[in-house]
């Protein structure tokens, strides 16, 4: 009891101010924002080379079908985003879907992931995380055959909802998406 220090309200306020100033980062306060429909679509690509491409196409990969497992991994990536990205708000996901397209010309697989919800903040990070989880899963299942793989061009294609409405990537959209959003 001898070392007990009496602290005033002003001391506590100063202490609280100091605590909240220490970090140079913060989660955005969405308390006053209204819930609106939010949707985002992201894409990315992995170049696997001829041998892996043919094995995937013929369903002969040693560890199983990378496309099916990557689609499951995309869902998990979407759902776990706020656990992996420190300042992302945890969101209830109303819908997510992914599509993986095999490109014969450049021996690549292109991943698309869409996410939607009604929330106070967008789902861009969830869509990007879904794409990355799928791409890394394909990498993991393919590296046994060819470790010289390249993940490339992960990007947000579309986001909609909130105060800014619809945003489309200025680099353009693949033709098959142009009439969907």
Active site residues: 140
Query: b/e map of 92-120 (b: 16 or more CB within 10 Å)?
Result: ebeebebebeeeeeebbbbbbbbbbbebb
Distance CA 99, CA 20 (A): 42
Q: Are 121 and 42 in contact (CB under 8 A)?
A: no
Residue 29 burial (CB < 10 Å; 0-12/13-18/19+)? exposed
SS3 29: coil
Give residue for tokens 């879907």.
97
């Amino acid at each position: 009891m001898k070392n007990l220090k009496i602290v005033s309200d002003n001391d506590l306020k100063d202490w609280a101010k100091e605590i909240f100033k220490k970090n140079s980062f913060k989660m955005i306060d969405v308390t006053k924002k209204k819930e609106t429909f939010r949707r985002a679509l992201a894409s990315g690509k992995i170049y696997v080379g001829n041998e892996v491409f043919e094995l995937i196409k013929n369903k002969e990969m040693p560890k199983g079908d990378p496309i099916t497992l990557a689609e499951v991994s995309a869902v998990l990536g979407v759902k776990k985003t706020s656990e992996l990205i420190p300042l992302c708000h945890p969101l209830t996901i109303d819908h997510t879907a992914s599509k993986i397209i095999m490109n014969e010309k450049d021996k690549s697989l292109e991943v698309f992931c869409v996410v939607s919800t009604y929330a106070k903040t967008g789902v861009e990070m969830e869509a990007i995380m879904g794409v990355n989880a799928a791409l890394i899963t394909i990498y993991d299942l393919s590296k046994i055959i060819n470790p010289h793989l390249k993940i490339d061009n992960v990007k947000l294609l579309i986001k909609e909802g909130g105060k800014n409405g619809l945003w489309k990537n200025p680099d353009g959209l693949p033709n098959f998406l142009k009439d969907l959003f």
